[in-house]
Amino acid sequence: MAANNKTNKLAFLSMPAPASYVAGLGRGASGFTTRSDIGPAREGPSAEVIAEAQAKRGEEAEVDPDQFQDPDNEYGLFAGTTYEADDEEADRIYESVDLNMDARRRARREALENEELAKHRAERPKIQQQFADLKRGLAVVTDEEWESIPEVGNLTRKKRKRDERSFVVPDSIIVGDRSKTEYENALDARQQAAGGFETPADSGTLTNFVEMGQARDKILSLKLDQVSGTSTNSGLSTSIDPKGYLTSLESVVIKTDAEIGDIKRARMLFDSLVKSNPKHAPGWIAAACLEEHAGRMVAARKLIKQGCEQCPKSEDVWLEAARLHNNDDAKVVLANAVQHVGQSVKIWLAAADLEHDAKGKKRVLRKALEHIPNSVRLWKETVNLESNPVDARIILSRAVEVIPLSVELWLALARLETPEKARAVLNKARSAVPTSHEIWIAAGRLIEQQAYATEMPEAVRNEELAVVDKTIAAGVRQLRAHGVLLTRELWLKEAERCESEGSPRTCEAIVKATVAMEVEEEDRLDTWMSDAESAESRGHVGTARAILAYALKVFPDKRVLWRKAADLEKAHGTRESLAAVLERAVHHCPQAEVLWLMWAKEKWLAGDVPGAREVLERAFVANPESEQIWLAAVKIEAENGEVIAARELLVRARTVADTQRIWMKSAVFERQQGQIDTALETLATAIKKYTKFAKLYMIQGQIHQDRKDYAAARASYAAGIKQCPKEVTLWILASRLEEADGKSIKARALLDKARLANSGSDVLWAEAVGVEERSGGTAQAKTVLARGLQECQTSGLLWSMTIWSEPRPTRKSRSADALRKAADDPLVLCTVARLFWAERKIEKARQWFERAITANPDLGDNWGWWLKFERQHGNSEQQEEVVKKCVAADPHHGPTWQSIAKDLRNARKSTKEILELVTNALK
């Protein structure tokens, strides 16, 4: 009994384990299961599960008493709380605030980081950048130099172990090597009997491959004869062309297994589509096209026939069915289509296209018009088929009765009528369609054509043309009354279209009536000038001229408008139109010296010297103290040999205008006439009046230098440098004077002083390089050039000199560096063009010469190099084009150009003659 009441210590083994029980958890172990038990292993319980289990057992979580004593350490402060929706919203708000704070200074921070990164890379470039020049230099290494590079060898100074392993030689090699030196001294018995070895066949016969090839060719020819119908045995003939048979075999598209599989899958999809939705017309069309692509035309026609039965109201299905059939069957298909979709214009047009003669087409189209009388397209196609204008006029008359709102039909009818009846037709059209601007424009063009069609006095013609302006203006008003508001851009496009179609007066009328629309009063000038420039760039000169004419009526005192109008006439108009514009311009702007000079120059170029003098006399009245007008008058007299008159004009100009440029021109004039003493006297007087004008000192020094009076020339340059230390040309002339006197050391010293006074001047550095080269110091010249490039890193002049100072193999890499530093410099572009010229890359050289000229057309040396290039590699037309462009550009700068143009012997030579001299002087 006592034994039965004894407690069983192992009873817990048969009891269920408590919730979330983990064996050994009390002693710090974590439970796990193996794959052999229940499959893949799994992780132990999470912290939440453990906390829940402890809560069920009544245990409290251990809390470190020192955990929250540090005010800066808040880790785990709210770890035991529940994460609710308010907490989530708070986190989202704080996150948005953090993002906004980060975005406020992001651009500045990123710019600062990029700047620091660029600075770091500039201070510590990559190895790839450091060796970029050397890598480019590998391009010029010859094959011999490459082969002569020694092998690397073992540079580690460590002895390497030799591979002293041995291998057993196979017996086959030993036997083969032994038999190499053996000789056969006897013949085989079969070889002696048959004269050689024979290969026995199974049947004991010999194989003759020649007969086999002949038999194969014979079989192939018999098959081809049977197919082509030329076989003599059958006596039959077919329609197959024997000559094109093999060619047709080549055109057969052999589909791969992948393509065949794709076709099968697509066929299944389309089959499911048409079965699930048989009223879906595009599905039938796609299924038929798939069968056509697969080469199964019968199946394609069968499918499209089913599509026509299922979708009889779809015109696309009927059109696809007509396409898949031949011409006769297609007519039957479209005849059935008309029964179901008789209002389809496409069906009727397709049926008309199937007819081969015009009579059949007319019959189909007239039948179509019975069903669809309101189709503009059908009427137009019917009219186009008519060869007789009378019949076409009758059809169009009927068409505008049926469709009175079609502007196209009204305009077509007006074009076919006589001028008198056309005006009546357009009046009817305006009544029928009062919102159409095309009808008003057509009316204006009709009036213009009538004015120019017959001979009439000029006054009567002007009255007729004035009606065009009234018609267009009335049209614009009527359209506004009916609520039609076209933008000014659309009106200007209509004006350009009228100009391109040969109606300039209608174009002008449209511009007059609409160019001021939608433009603010303060923006009118800029807007109209931009409109004129845009029209001129698109080739519509008449529209641009009309816009400028209207702008000049509104702003008659704007010089910029008159200058723009004069430039337009000079580029695209006649000499008479340009003269008329300039005469009106000087009348409204008498103080505009440029306009007076342009008018006088045009008169002079036209050979009207008295007219040019008269223009300048009128300009004197309006501008008595104008320096440019005085000098222009002197130039006209000097160019025409009137030396005395020119001298008197200069004397009067020095008295009336009294400017430093007039004094300089007076000295130059006397020097050109050989009056050196008079020129020196004039210069002395001018220098006293204008001590800061550097060109006076230059001319004075050059005159003394020509006289070999180096001391006086040196004094003139020294005085000029003292007064004008920032004038680079004075320093250069003084340096060249010392060189001419044989004092190169003094020339160097002068240039050093000049660079101190004018830091960053590439011209002074280039002159210093030239001094070193002329004195024979090539190495010193390269050093000076390198120093100059360090100070003037973007100088095209110094980069050009650097490229030519390099040996030929490295010039291309140096030119690449120059293009990176000074990409748009005309001297660098011209140098690159000359490099391509040297490499016989003609087209590239021509393109780079054009780029150089476009960058700066005022550099005469570039024009000379381009003409020299065309003389060697171009034709006469290309050479004449270069000369023509150079004369239009009228360059004035360039070392060689200036030295030749300012030579006294070339004083009266034209731009073309100077270009020839420069081209011959360049080397």
pTM of the model: 0.58
The predicted pLDDT at position 858 comes to: 92
DSSP-assigned letter for residue 195: S
pLDDT in tens, 71-99: 666 555 565 566 678 888 888 888 888 88
At residue 516 the predicted structure's pLDDT band, cuts being 50, 70 and 90, is: confident
At residue 844 the predicted structure's pLDDT band, cuts being 50, 70 and 90, is: very high
Does an H or E element contain 441, and which? helix 437-453
Min mean pLDDT across 176-190, 615-629, 699-713 is at 176-190
At residue 233 the predicted structure's pLDDT band, cuts being 50, 70 and 90, is: very low
Residue 550 CA to residue 648 CA, distance in Å, equals 44
Residue 288 CA to residue 324 CA, distance in Å, equals 9
Per-residue CA distances from 588 to 247, 451, 547, 582, 595 (Å): 80, 32, 18, 10, 11
* Bridge partners for 893 per DSSP: 859
The predicted pLDDT at position 6 comes to: 60
Residue 533 CA to residue 545 CA, distance in Å, equals 10
Residue 493 CA to residue 483 CA, distance in Å, equals 20
The predicted pLDDT at position 365 comes to: 83
Please compute the mean of the pLDDT values over residues 709-720 and round it to a whole number: 91
The predicted pLDDT at position 236 comes to: 44
Min mean pLDDT across 33-37, 258-262, 561-565, 717-721 is at 33-37
pLDDT in tens, 264-299: 888 888 888 888 888 888 888 888 888 888 888 888
The predicted pLDDT at position 59 comes to: 66
Residue 408 CA to residue 426 CA, distance in Å, equals 12
Considering 606-620, 659-673, 851-865, the range whose residues carry the highest mean pLDDT is 851-865
Residue 378 CA to residue 371 CA, distance in Å, equals 11
Judge contact between 405 and 382, C-beta under 8 A: no
Q: Among residues of the chain, what percentage have pLDDT more than 90?
A: 13
At residue 869 the predicted structure's pLDDT band, cuts being 50, 70 and 90, is: very high
| 892 token code pair | 């004035």
| 74 token code pair | 């808040």
Residue 723 CA to residue 717 CA, distance in Å, equals 10
Min mean pLDDT across 47-51, 121-125, 875-879 is at 47-51
Better pLDDT: 800 or 439: 800
Please compute the mean of the pLDDT values over residues 193-213 and round it to a whole number: 58
pLDDT in tens, 761-798: 899 999 999 998 888 888 888 899 999 999 888 998 99
Could you give the 3-state DSSP secondary structure of residue 594? Answer: helix
* Bridge partners for 533 per DSSP: none
| 119 token code pair | 């600075």
Mean pLDDT of all residues in the chain? Answer: 81
Q: Among residues of the chain, what percentage have pLDDT more than 70?
A: 83
Judge contact between 377 and 349, C-beta under 8 A: yes
The predicted pLDDT at position 393 comes to: 79
Residue 827 CA to residue 859 CA, distance in Å, equals 9
Residue 390 CA to residue 852 CA, distance in Å, equals 62
The predicted pLDDT at position 204 comes to: 47
Within 341-436, where are the H helices? 345-354, 358-371, 376-385, 389-402, 407-416, 419-432
Better pLDDT: 430 or 747: 747
The predicted pLDDT at position 267 comes to: 83
For 868, residues 6+ apart whose C-beta sits below 8 A from its C-beta are 919, 922
pLDDT in tens, 58-72: 666 666 666 556 666
The predicted pLDDT at position 376 comes to: 80
The predicted pLDDT at position 184 comes to: 61
The predicted pLDDT at position 237 comes to: 43
Judge contact between 829 and 848, C-beta under 8 A: yes
Please compute the mean of the pLDDT values over residues 807-816 and round it to a whole number: 89
Better pLDDT: 316 or 375: 316
The predicted pLDDT at position 248 comes to: 52
The predicted pLDDT at position 40 comes to: 52
pLDDT at residue 836 greater than cutoff 90: yes
At residue 231 the predicted structure's pLDDT band, cuts being 50, 70 and 90, is: very low
pLDDT in tens, 583-602: 888 888 888 888 888 888 88
Min mean pLDDT across 209-218, 299-308, 505-514 is at 209-218
